[in-house]
A = this chain, B = another copy of it.
Amino acid sequence: MKKLALIAAGLLLAGSAFAQQALFGPAGVESPVINEDGTVTFRYRAPKAVRVTLSGDFLPVQKVKMGDREFEMQAPVDLKEGQNGVWEYTTDFKVAPEMYTYTFSVDGNSVIDPNNVFVNRDVATVSSVLLVPQEGARSDLYAIHRVPHGTVSKVWYPSATAGFDRRMTVYTPAGYEKNTKTRYPVLYVLHGIGGDEDAWVTQGRATQILDNLIARGQAKPMIVVFTNGNISQEAAPLENSMNYTRPTMSLPQTMEGTFESAFPEVVKFIDANYRTIAKKQSRAICGLSMGGFHTLYITLNNPDMFNYSGMFSAAIGTGSEERAAHKEIYADMDAKLATYFSKKPALLWIGIGNSDFLIQANNDFRKKLDAAGYPYEYMETDGGHIWRNWRIYLTEFVPKLFK
């Protein structure tokens, strides 16, 4: 490999240090390392740094005071400087099988781990990923295995409502291309505020979950459609013709009814372009946070469209319904619930974390369902408004579909 090393040196040295293809970061530091005893070691090279800390959602929850409020949070931990300016931290506990994200803070500046190629983008935030899979553990569903893989496509559909083409992600299960006579049920999966059509595939590991559940025989082969819920936008950053420098909470047409009222055009496009089973019995929808809110209202306004609906940490009860442009979407909840349940949907599924700030609103909604005797399934997990929970909910919801 001597000559290859020469090429590498050439690539790294030749001409401009920056403009050359940035091949690799500084070599020789291994991070993260899952140790044999189940602990994990993190390293970061920073010879001039005064303090290096690690934030990650695998760290123990502690009570932390911020001003006059106390929060339960996973407080950062300090790395210790060792030889050659390499800082290091090893957990004093086994890190449970899961998919985590983490960043370092170097003298106050947040950085990803340059020695870890697993990087996730969530809008403008980039984090390093630590995946600890274990046979039999749920997180094993998040890993890639040597099972048949579906195809994941970025597809543009014409939105009459928006007046331009919009991008979605479509998963077709393994075998879709070969089995040209087979028709498939469809699951629509919606993201949260600030997300886009990439979010469930990157942070949510949805296509790995689908591949693995289908390969195990725990889910039916199905088409899965990941929409972009920001109807005023065409697509994720860098795939957008608009001057989209930074998403803000004031993105127009968010949670005011336009996306929900336009949803049938998405279903129509999918039914026209894929081999779907185009009827209620073979359609499901679910979403997280804003997407759970979307799911509820799309379901109620189209009671003949979806047989299975999943609300994951749904952002209901936020008051946005009152100031909506399309008030009709949010109006007459009681009557719409009555119509919806009179048509005997196969499943309304609700999941939320016990420390999610939306749990009260979800409890209120469940009380309304209980009072009317409407059936639903409910799952409460530890933790808050986090991707760990949304991945869990997807692994729970998908096996219940199209049975």
Closest to A100 in B: B19
Complex Cα–Cα for A59 and B17 (A): 12
- Which of A103-111, A298-306, A329-337, A339-347 lies at the interface? A103-111
Q: Do residues A153 and B152 form an inter-chain contact, with CB atoms below 8 A?
A: yes
Complex Cα–Cα for A343 and B76 (A): 65
The answer to whether the Cβ of A371 comes within 8 Å of any Cβ in the partner chain is: no
Q: Do residues B117 and A244 form an inter-chain contact, with CB atoms below 8 A?
A: yes
Task: Given A7-B193, A16-B74, A249-B5, check contact A22 B125 (CB 8 Å).
Answer: yes
Q: Do residues B21 and A122 form an inter-chain contact, with CB atoms below 8 A?
A: yes
- What is the distance, in angstroms, from A378's C-beta to the closest C-beta of chain B? 20
Task: Given A3-B323, A110-B111, check contact A356 B14 (CB 8 Å).
Answer: yes
Q: Do residues B246 and A144 form an inter-chain contact, with CB atoms below 8 A?
A: no
- What is the distance, in angstroms, from A136's C-beta to the closest C-beta of chain B? 17
The answer to whether the Cβ of A156 comes within 8 Å of any Cβ in the partner chain is: yes
- What is the distance, in angstroms, from A226's C-beta to the closest C-beta of chain B? 13
Q: Mark A239-280, 1 if CB is under 8 A from B, else 0.
A: 111001111111000110000000000000000010000000
Q: Is the interface of A mostly helix, strand, loop or mixed?
A: loop
- Which of A181-189, A217-225, A313-321, A392-400 lies at the interface? A313-321
The answer to whether the Cβ of A91 comes within 8 Å of any Cβ in the partner chain is: no
Q: Do residues A123 and B117 form an inter-chain contact, with CB atoms below 8 A?
A: yes
Q: Do residues B24 and A57 form an inter-chain contact, with CB atoms below 8 A?
A: no
List chain B residues, Cβ under 8 A from A194: 21, 23-24
Task: Given A20-B384, A126-B112, A383-B19, check contact A10 B357 (CB 8 Å).
Answer: yes
The answer to whether the Cβ of A61 comes within 8 Å of any Cβ in the partner chain is: yes
The answer to whether the Cβ of A41 comes within 8 Å of any Cβ in the partner chain is: no
Chain A interface residue count, CB cutoff 8 Å, equals 114
- What is the distance, in angstroms, from A141's C-beta to the closest C-beta of chain B? 13
The answer to whether the Cβ of A237 comes within 8 Å of any Cβ in the partner chain is: yes
List chain B residues, Cβ under 8 A from A89: none
List chain B residues, Cβ under 8 A from A155: 151
Q: Do residues B126 and A126 form an inter-chain contact, with CB atoms below 8 A?
A: yes
Complex Cα–Cα for A118 and B49 (A): 28
The answer to whether the Cβ of A55 comes within 8 Å of any Cβ in the partner chain is: yes
List chain B residues, Cβ under 8 A from A59: 18
Complex Cα–Cα for A245 and B315 (A): 36
- What is the distance, in angstroms, from A270's C-beta to the closest C-beta of chain B? 12
List chain B residues, Cβ under 8 A from A109: 46, 49, 106-107, 109, 111
- What is the distance, in angstroms, from A102's C-beta to the closest C-beta of chain B? 8
Q: Do residues A156 and B164 form an inter-chain contact, with CB atoms below 8 A?
A: no
